[in-house]
Structure 1
């Protein structure tokens, strides 16, 4: 065995290919770690101006990226607070993507992408003010899902919102896409839409995350039932209060999702409807009862929610949204039954628990072309020529769905078909 004096160091097999750098390493993983340092430190952006700062690796003064950034801010931006010398907490974008964050306000990576950085003190807080748990959807999304978003400058959930509108919305069109603005929508609605988009995406990771959303949102909806449910003991509801349509739409999305994800062993009743678990069925009946007590599906009540001087387009969108929500809720009711109750064909009380055509005191919605029209100048105004002259006359009760139901249902005929 050779003596220690005659031992020679092993030859370095992995040299650094970065210009001006002569470092060599015996192990490839050490070289990769070294190259990553070049990528992080060689170029980075100032968060307060358009300057791109560079550090020469062969500089006689060993400035780290944070040191150089602090010096730049002190010289060129004396009115700004230099970043702390301590290792900063990564912004939400860098944390989600498992990238090194330089701690700037905004950080250099977000500034380079044009993305909204959670460390930016001047960030528009409109989204956060309307959504206290705005970071929760981002935290629920796994790293793989975050990395799959094509354009990192967009909000991380936009991909799944797009899936919602492109795939789910044509089947269940009860949201108005043209006036939908994520920064102004309540968290519960955004998260419900994310949940649906994740599920429709279809891969295992996305569906697992969708189920997490569903479990959390259902728990929140049940825990805060006193804030949206109108019990029979309350008496006449206050007509001056606005209807929390976003909450009702979110509950409807959760119920639709519950049917979509029903286990294969869930049985159908004799009317070929899904027997919902009792907690889910109770949530459905609570939503139906609340809508009935508010008179939500009465066209005169829809108009009464708006001042006579309100813009016609605004009233039209609100009325159409309520109509389409009512039809979607009715459609869901036709798919479901209780796991403990008997067939609705054999009991009158069971039929009253869920929505019927007789509850829908409004005419059919107007054209889908108007509902889905996109306008960059005035998103709330139907743009089609002749809209006022061809819109349905909702003032005539003879054209309401509830009136038509009298011709479709006969108390003497027990066949349950509508």
Structure 2
């Protein structure tokens, strides 16, 4: 009995498989799906049929199941000529719609729209109060035209403002049945301002004080091609809000537009100069162009004009298909704020407008080429090509502007290069093509594969390969600059980790495999690649003027960014300012000094000083060529990079004893010219690793030593004097160095 009790009963091995044996497999090869019922297999076999019977009448996609097709069609939104159940109205909303003359007893029709934003409580029984009737607007009303391919995007102002829908608003919408149907194309701005009780009508040409622009004449799509008559509105009818029309004549606007294309457009080439016409541009875009041109010229009234332009751009209702002009205008406003970032109150405004622009471009699919073009421009291959290229250039300009803002404000970028699923922009010659014949002719001169490889794929392949492996991509100066902007996200992360306040001491050992080592290697490799492909530094310093074939607009900015990245990774600027300016918390100040002792005894300060010298060399060359610093619109990072270099160089000089008098009568050390010594120079490498040697600054030969700190400060102040806030910040820093010790 005992043996029987202990005897184990064998468990069949196929117990777990028995349910599977009753299942019905799919008979198609390479399909291993199993089903519990045979009818499920029959339904599944329809998915293998490439010609599904249920086709969407809007976009043409096919589906096997009818319910999936219905769910897909509902995503397109209500279509003209289709019926849709009425949106019920609540009693609280009826009170809001009631007026003394047209209330609950007025027997007036209330027009309900599917964008009305009225909430429906669960207790609503579907019956309207006595005396009220529901009426659905006709499909031809342009204010309710839905998008057939894009989700709805509401403006930030509309999302944060409670709009009171009145009976007058509903009546005005009802009267739009008799108005002309306005096409909502890619280049037009058919919008509904959120701060006016009346729907937006077709905009008129700008009304000017002395003379007006040529009237905008309605034309057929074949006549206007790229240019569609603008129907944008400033959202307010007060002339004071339209400073262009109130204070500028047509000739002055024409002159400012010419200034924009001559001085600003080469640095932000998002518009097609050959086909741009003032009469066809929207009010928002034209106002933004005039704003940037006025700021570039130093016009004192640009601040007042900026308020009107900002109200116009942010007041536009970003519908499901906002115009390209509106997106371009918003970008130019971001560029304007970026140029004034150091002024009081402009940092918050820059971040605000940049967030709106990026979120709108993301939702519309501008970054990954999902933004579809309106049928109105499909008649012309040139118009389609221009639309696509302008969207690509807009995406890259947004990417660059976000990178510059991130650098200046020292926070991680919002847009990463992995999002840019679009090819590189066309060359300048092809971009200036006017006719389709000229475009096709110049197309043969474009690098092979430019339109076939995505920018994100190019960066991924180049950065993942070993430096010694040759990649097939030959990037020009524009592509190299965009690639340098793409490296900033990794550089910021590596610098933040190296200079983290949570660490006991600064990260000064460049161990292989660490993020710091990886991104320092990536930046050095990218700079070497730019020099090999574009001869960037050689061509730039060989020119004595900024005009010429080799004077690419972004050449100076590209050189600055390459060295600024190294400066960010090797110099803890925030910690230096904390020690120099002092801290009320003595414990925190002592910890900062302790951490800086480790940094000052490593090669990092000398690496930082050389990169700061290269930045200063570019700034000095720009000052000679331009008779002053470059404009902030043309080079947004010039002032900040020079100020950062000044802080690092003066701090290191204050703690360095290199000349014979300060070094205690030591023998003569080899002299090193920081401006003209290349990175692979043996003397520079020896000084960088050991600290042995005397370094000189600029053509004046100022020695980087504690006894020459004031002379170095005077050199920097001579180049910072155009920016009062930057100069004042640097003066305070230099004054605090007198009592600074580590």
8 Å contact kept, 1:130–1:185: no
Deviations 1:174-204 (A, max 9, x none): 10111111111110000110111111223xx
Of residues 317, 326, 335 in structure 1, which corresponds to 2:404?
335
Determine the structure 2 residue equivalent to 1:210.
302
Secondary structure of the 1:332 match is: helix
Determine the structure 2 residue equivalent to 1:228.
318
Cα distance in 2 for residues equivalent to 1:314 and 1:196:
27
8 Å contact kept, 2:393–2:425: yes
Cα distance in 2 for residues equivalent to 1:192 and 1:308:
25
Cα distance in 2 for residues equivalent to 1:193 and 1:304:
24
Gap runs ≥5 in structure 2: 1-206, 219-228, 464-486, 494-513, 524-564, 566-742
- TM-score w.r.t. the length of structure 2 is 0.30
Structure 1 segment 85-96 matched on structure 2, within 5 A: 96=210
Cα 1:177–1:333 change in 2 (3 A) is same
8 Å contact kept, 2:378–2:384: no
CA shift at 1:298, angstroms?
Answer: 2.2
Deviations 1:192-219 (A, max 9, x none): 10111111223xxx2x222111112112
8 Å contact kept, 1:182–1:190: yes
Cα distance in 2 for residues equivalent to 1:380 and 1:258:
35
Cα 1:403–1:291 change in 2 (3 A) is same
Determine the structure 2 residue equivalent to 1:313.
382
CA shift at 1:308, angstroms?
Answer: 10
Determine the structure 1 residue equivalent to 2:260.
164
Greater length-normalized contact order (CA 8 Å, ≥ 6 residues apart): 1
Cα 1:365–1:189 change in 2 (3 A) is same
- TM-score w.r.t. the length of structure 1 is 0.51
8 Å contact kept, 1:364–1:401: yes
Deviations 1:29-83 (A, max 9, x none): xxxxxxxxxxxxxxxxxxxxxxxxxxxxxxxxxxxxxxxxxxxxxxxxxxxxxxx
Of residues 239, 247, 264 in structure 1, which corresponds to 2:326?
247
CA shift at 1:250, angstroms?
Answer: 0.7
Cα distance in 2 for residues equivalent to 1:259 and 1:331:
11
Secondary structure of the 1:220 match is: helix
Secondary structure of the 1:386 match is: helix
Cα distance in 2 for residues equivalent to 1:335 and 1:388:
31
Determine the structure 2 residue equivalent to 1:287.
357
Gap runs ≥5 in structure 1: 1-91, 97-114, 118-122, 147-153, 230-237, 267-275, 345-350, 374-378
Cα 1:404–1:390 change in 2 (3 A) is same
CA shift at 1:170, angstroms?
Answer: 0.8
Cα 1:262–1:168 change in 2 (3 A) is same
Determine the structure 2 residue equivalent to 1:185.
281
CA shift at 1:393, angstroms?
Answer: 4.3
Question: Pairwise CA RMSD of aligned residues?
Answer: 3.7
Determine the structure 2 residue equivalent to 1:413.
515
Cα distance in 1 for residues equivalent to 2:449 and 2:356:
31
Determine the structure 2 residue equivalent to 1:361.
421
8 Å contact kept, 2:337–2:349: no
Cα distance in 2 for residues equivalent to 1:342 and 1:198:
29
8 Å contact kept, 1:370–1:382: no
Determine the structure 2 residue equivalent to 1:124.
215
Choose 403-412 or 185-194, whichever is displaced more.
403-412
